[in-house]
Amino acid sequence: MNPMLIDLTHTFTDNMPVYPGDACSRLYESSFIKDGGVSDHRIESGMHVGTHMDAPLHMVEGGAMIADIPLRHFTGMGHLVDARGKNSITADLLESYAINKGDIVLVWTEWSRKYHEPDYFDGHPEIAEDFAHRLVALGVFLIGMDTPSPDREPFPIHKILLAKDVLIIENLVNLAALEPYNTFRIHAYPIKYKAGGAPVRVVAEINT
């Protein structure tokens, strides 16, 4: 039986949206087949651009870098939490899910529709503290969302999660494609950078 694979990742492009105050990313062709027989590209970017993963070091002094995280943390059974229409994403939304240690929780808000709009970084839904504490208590490895951040300055939710090694994926897309499926597995392998974050390709595996 061949599984169906669903991509939940924004394509990394030149001058893609970045968090206010961050430098713009650049991706451009630096060598051309017509000139030297090969095509090559260069990238100039911060780590927290596009679909990316936050490691503890991003917000926790002395926390682990992406390269330090065991591979087992990057894959697990997924749960799609429907938070559409919610401004504050609270723990009661988790009550109907049988979440186990090592699972991955994806928060679906439909905010990704605004990804290329000027207000993408303004007014997005936020994770409530009780939701974050519940994820920590359950022992999840990853939380992902289709928003630019789980919170805003001074970033209390980042700190609650990352201090307990719950990694964060921001700027997911296409979560609606998971709605018909009760069971799926998430694969989210970031580039192995010695840094507090990295771009990540996130894929849902559906066994049909």
- Structural domains of the chain ordered from first start: 4-10+46-206 (3.50.30.50)
Handedness of CA 49, 185, 97, 138 (dihedral sign): negative
pLDDT of residue 49: 96
pTM above 0.85, yes or no: yes
Pairing outcome for strands 104-108 and 185-190: unpaired
How many C-beta neighbours within 10 Å does residue 86 have?
15
Average pLDDT over residues 160-184: 97
What confidence category does residue 26 fall into, taking pLDDT thresholds of 50, 70 and 90?
A: very high
What confidence category does residue 135 fall into, taking pLDDT thresholds of 50, 70 and 90?
A: very high
pLDDT tens profile 189-208 = 999 999 999 999 999 999 87
Average pLDDT over residues 170-179: 98
pLDDT of residue 208: 74
Residue ranges of the alpha helices (H) in 91-177?
129-138, 156-162
- Comparing 12-21, 60-69, 139-148, the range with the smallest average pLDDT is 12-21
Judge if the upstream peptide bond of residue 17 is cis by omega within 30 degrees of 0: no
Q: φ, ψ for residue 198 (rounded to 5)?
A: -165, 150
What confidence category does residue 76 fall into, taking pLDDT thresholds of 50, 70 and 90?
A: very high
pLDDT of residue 118: 85
pLDDT of residue 15: 85
